[in-house]
């Protein structure tokens, strides 16, 4: 088994325990269970393919098949965290206390320029490409650490998903819509309880609505966004972890090339009202310890776990 697969099974087991405890309260428990059966079936199928044809291509297929499922696991957090009372009122208060305002409310109005809007939306849509690029850099430049990189990326996502499962924060675009912009501007942040169990309405995406990148973000939100996963910002956390992984490889030129995109991405999370500014700070604050923890864990695993790399096996035979 790959480390990535163990990370998937660990998160799967965690969510199964939660589902068993709250089974009668879940909205779609049967579909969630069958979804997990399909995940395990896919994992077994990819394992069999790799066993029949062990090479770098099938290793990449095996890892990517699990990474592609992150888009499936993400809305699944909504099905779990809607069991608990919404906490947006608390996080919105933190923004008000720390900054004296609601940055997610003011930021789009301060920068109405179409150029700024497109740049920030470009940064936001670069999130998954940045993750894919990081993993592929390891695959082509440092294959002996490819599995380790994939494990850190996947396990980091699942750590954030555990937080999202237990801490239901929908984000400004949902909370402001539910409460009303007028009330938010007055500093009124009411408890909403289980409101998001039955409502998924959000504000209109701010920015230049005719822009190409604006449309990409709007389409992505329409197809897969849920009132979930706002605190901390996994966009900020995961993009920071990707930058740290590239720093680990000493990819300084690539880091410098990605730095503007990274900055735009972090700013965009507040600009498009997906996150409170506190979410961004929490994303930065959690990224480094998560990265260091998983780096240490993967180092310990590599000391006693067998290598799955075909090149490693061939090199051992040559010795």
Which residue in this structure is represented by tokens 């910002």? 233
Average pLDDT of the chain, as a whole number: 92
Note whether 160 and 238 are within 8 A (CB): yes
Q: Binning pLDDT at 50, 70 and 90, where does residue 309 land? A: low
The sign of the torsion formed by the CA atoms of 248, 9, 86, 109 equals: positive
Q: Binning pLDDT at 50, 70 and 90, where does residue 282 land? A: very high
The pair of three-digit structure tokens given for residue 4, joined into one six-digit string: 């990535």
Rg (CA), the chain: 21
Residues 6+ away with beta carbon under 8 Å from 228: 74, 75, 77, 78, 81, 82, 164, 168, 169, 170
Angle of CA points 134, 228, 133, to nearest 5°: 10
Note whether 300 and 290 are within 8 A (CB): no
Q: Binning pLDDT at 50, 70 and 90, where does residue 290 land? A: very high
pLDDT (0 to 100) of residue 310: 58
Residues 6+ away with beta carbon under 8 Å from 90: none
pLDDT (0 to 100) of residue 297: 92
User: What CA–CA distance (Å, rounded) separates 124 from 235?
Assistant: 8
pLDDT tens-digit series, residues 7-54:
999 999 999 999 999 999 998 899 999 999 999 999 999 999 999 999
Q: Given a cut of 90, is residue 143 above it in pLDDT?
A: yes
The pair of three-digit structure tokens given for residue 98, joined into one six-digit string: 């720390």
Q: DSSP for 11-80, please give it.
A: HHHHHHHHHHHTGGG-SSHHHHHHHHHHHHHHHHHHHHHHHHS-SHHHHHHHHHHHHTTHHHHHHHHHHH
Q: Binning pLDDT at 50, 70 and 90, where does residue 319 land? A: very low
Note whether 86 and 193 are within 8 A (CB): yes
pLDDT (0 to 100) of residue 225: 86
pLDDT (0 to 100) of residue 303: 61
pLDDT (0 to 100) of residue 313: 44
Give the mean pLDDT of 126-155: 96
Smallest Cα–Cα separation from 66: which of 142, 133, 154? 154
pTM: 0.93
Q: Given a cut of 80, is residue 305 above it in pLDDT?
A: no
Give the mean pLDDT of 124-133: 96
* 273 φψ region: left (φ > 0), alpha (ψ -120 to 50), beta (else): left
Q: Binning pLDDT at 50, 70 and 90, where does residue 280 land? A: very high
Give the mean pLDDT of 246-271: 96
Q: DSSP for 179-209, please give it.
A: H-HHHHHTT-----TTGGGT----PPPPS-T
Q: Which residue has the higher pLDDT, 223 or 115?
A: 115
Give the mean pLDDT of 233-253: 96
């Amino acid at each position: 088994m790959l480390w990535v697969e163990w990370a998937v099974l660990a998160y799967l087991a965690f969510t199964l325990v939660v589902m068993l405890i709250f089974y009668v309260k879940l909205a779609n428990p049967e579909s969630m269970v069958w979804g997990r059966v399909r995940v395990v079936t896919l994992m077994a199928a990819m394992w069999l393919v790799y066993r029949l044809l062990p090479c770098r291509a099938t290793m990449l297929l095996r890892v990517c098949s699990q990474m592609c499922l992150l888009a499936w696991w993400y809305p699944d957090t909504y099905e779990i965290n809607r069991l608990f009372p919404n906490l947006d009122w608390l996080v919105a208060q933190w923004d008000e206390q720390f900054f004296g305002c609601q940055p997610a409310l003011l930021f789009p109005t301060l920068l109405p320029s179409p150029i700024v809007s497109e740049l920030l939306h470009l940064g936001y849509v670069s999130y998954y490409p940045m993750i894919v690029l990081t993993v592929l850099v390891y695959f082509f430049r440092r294959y002996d650490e490819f599995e380790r990189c994939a494990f850190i990326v996947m396990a980091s996502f699942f750590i954030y998903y555990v937080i999202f499962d237990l801490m239901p924060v929908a984000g400004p675009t949902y909370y402001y819509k539910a409460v009303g912009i007028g009330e938010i501007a007055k500093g009124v942040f009411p408890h909403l309880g289980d409101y998001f169990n039955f409502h998924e309405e959000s504000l209109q995406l701010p920015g230049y609505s005719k822009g190409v990148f604006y449309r990409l973000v709007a389409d992505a939100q329409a197809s897969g966004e849920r009132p979930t996963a706002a605190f901390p910002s996994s966009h900020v956390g995961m993009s920071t972890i990707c930058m740290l992984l590239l720093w680990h490889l000493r990819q300084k030129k690539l880091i410098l090339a990605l730095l503007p995109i990274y900055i735009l991405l972090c700013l965009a999370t507040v600009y498009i009202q997906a996150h409170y500014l506190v979410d961004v700070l929490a994303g930065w604050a959690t990224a480094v310890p998560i990265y260091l923890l998983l780096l240490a864990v993967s180092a310990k695993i590599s000391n006693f776990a067998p290598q799955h790399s075909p090149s490693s096996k061939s090199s051992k035979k040559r010795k």
